[in-house]
Amino acid sequence: MPSEPSFHIGPIPIHGRTILSPMDGFSDQPFRSLARRLGSAISYTEFVNALDVLNGHPHLERRLAFLKTERPVTFQLFDDDPGRLLQAALKLRPFEPDIIDINMGCSVRCVSGRGAGAGLLREPAKIAQIFHSLTHALDLPITGKIRIGWDEDSLNHVDVARIIEDNGGAAIAVHGRTKAQAYRGQANWDAIAEVKAAVSIPVFGNGDVRLVADIGRMREHTGCDAVMIARGAIGNPWIFAGLDRHEVTEPQVRAMVLDHLQAMQAFYGAELGLVLFRKHAARYISPYGLDTAQREQLLTSETAEDFTRILDQLALQPAVA
C-alpha cells in the first residue's frame, strides 16, 4: 500500500483509484475481500434495506460481515423514508463501518418504484433531508451513489450532487446512466465530468469500464477521483491488479476459482456456498470454448471435489475467435 493516500473521504484515507461497485448478489464478503486483495480501494457491502435493519432480517449480519483486511468498509443502505434511514444508520453504527452510503441508483422496479434507490432522484428535497440528518447525527462520513436522472428528460445529476455536498455528504459515486436506461445503452461520461466540476468532494465514475484501458480513459475524460467497476469485475477481478482477462493465465484462473470457491463455502457453508458460486464460475469460464454439455457438467457439480476434478479434466484454453 502506498504511504500517501490517493484522496480522502472525510478523514478516511483511500489508497487506490479503482473500487468494486456494490452489486446485489455479487459483492458479498468473499468477492469483496478477493477484490480488495487485488487492489480495490474500498469495500462496499451489498445494499441493505433500512426496514431489514430495523426489523431484524435473519440474513442481515451475514450481509454486513466483513474482514479487517477489507477496511475501509462502506455499508450501503436504501429506503425512501429519511427517518427510517437515520434510525437504520444509527443502529448499524455499532457494527463499526468506516462509511455509510445511501443508494440512489438502483433501477429495479421493486426498489425505485417505491421511491427508494433511483426513485429518490425525483425528490431532491428528500435527498437534502436524508444527508442533513445523517451527517449531523453520525460521526462517520456519509456518501451517496446516484444515477444521472430518472430519464433523459429529467437529468439532475449536478443539482443532486450539489445537494449532497451542501448537506454534508463526503463523496459521490455517479453511474452515468438514467434509471430508465437501467444497464442498456452507453454510459454518459460527460455527465460524470459535470458532477466532478460542480463539487469539491471526491467523485467516483461508474459505467462501461470493462478493460484496464477504460479506467484511464474514464479518469482522463471525467477527472474523477476513482473509477467504480461493477459488471466488468465479475469473472475478472484481476482488473483491480491492472490485468485484462486475456492477460491472466489458466493456472492463475484455476487458483483464483478454487480460492473463491473455498471462501464461498467457508462463508455460506459447503452446499450453499457451492450453489452461490456457480454464477461466478460461469463468468470465470466464459472466455473458454466449452460446449453446453461441458458447462453444465461443471456448473452442476454437487461437491467442491467434483467441481475441481471436472475443472482439471476440461484443460481450459481460450476460445479461438
Q: What is the pLDDT of residues 74-110, one digit of tens each?
A: 999 999 999 999 999 999 999 999 999 999 998 888 8
What does the pLDDT average to over 230-241? 97
Mean pLDDT of the chain: 94
Is the pLDDT higher at 10 or at 312? 10
pLDDT of residue 57: 84
Catalytic residue numbers read 106
Element spanning 291, H or E: none
| 132-178 pLDDT per residue, tens | 999 999 999 999 999 999 889 989 999 999 999 999 999 999 999 99
Q: C-alpha angle with apex 287: 282 to 291, nearest 5 degrees?
A: 70
CA dihedral 284, 289, 293, 299 (to 10 degrees): 0
**Domain covering 249-314: architecture:** Orthogonal Bundle (1.10)
Which among 154, 222, 223 has a CA at the least distance from the CA of 188? 222
Output the pLDDT for position 316: 66
pLDDT, tens digit (0-9, with 9 covering 90-100), for 250-300: 999 999 999 999 999 999 999 999 999 999 999 999 998 888 999 999 999
Q: Rounded distance, CA 263 to CA 28, Å?
A: 11
Considering the segment(s) 7-242 as one domain, its CATH architecture is Alpha-Beta Barrel (3.20)
Q: Please, which pLDDT band fits residue 58 given cuts at 50, 70 and 90?
A: confident
Report the C-alpha gap between 300 and 296 in whole angstroms. 6
pLDDT of residue 128: 98
Which residues are bridge partners to 9 per DSSP?
Answer: 12
Q: Show the 3-state SS of 24-62.
A: CCCCCHHHHHHHHHHCCCCEECCCEEHHHHHHCCCCHHH
Strand partners, 42: none
- Tell me where in the chain the CATH 1.10.1200 domain(s) lie: 249-314
- Say whether the peptide bond before residue 72 is cis (omega within 30 degrees of 0): yes
The secondary structure of the chain in percent helix, strand, coil, rounded to multiples of 5, reads 50, 15, 35
Give the rounded percent of residues in the chain with a pLDDT score beyond 70.
97
Closest Cα partner for 176 from 128, 230, 122, 135? 230
Query: Is residue 317's pLDDT more than 70?
Result: no
Tell me the CB-side half-sphere exposure of residue 192, using CA atoms within 13 A.
Answer: 30
Could you give the 3-state DSSP secondary structure of residue 262?
helix
300 contacts: CB under 8 Å, gap ≥ 6 = none
How much is the pLDDT for 318?
65
Closest among 200, 204, 207 to 166, alpha carbons compared:
200
pLDDT mean over 25-42: 97
pLDDT given for residue 195 in this prediction: 98
Region(s) of the chain under CATH 3.20.20.70 = 7-242
Q: Where are the alpha helices (DSSP H) in the chain?
A: 29-38, 50-55, 60-64, 82-92, 109-112, 124-137, 157-166, 189-198, 212-222, 250-268, 270-284, 292-299, 304-314
171 and 203 Cβ atoms separated by less than 8 Å: yes
Question: pLDDT at position 206, please?
Answer: 97
At 185, is the pLDDT very low, low, confident or very high (cuts 50, 70, 90)? confident
CA distance 204 to 271: 37
Q: Residue 236 and residue 260: Cα distance in Å, rounded?
A: 12
Q: Which amino acid is at 8?
A: H
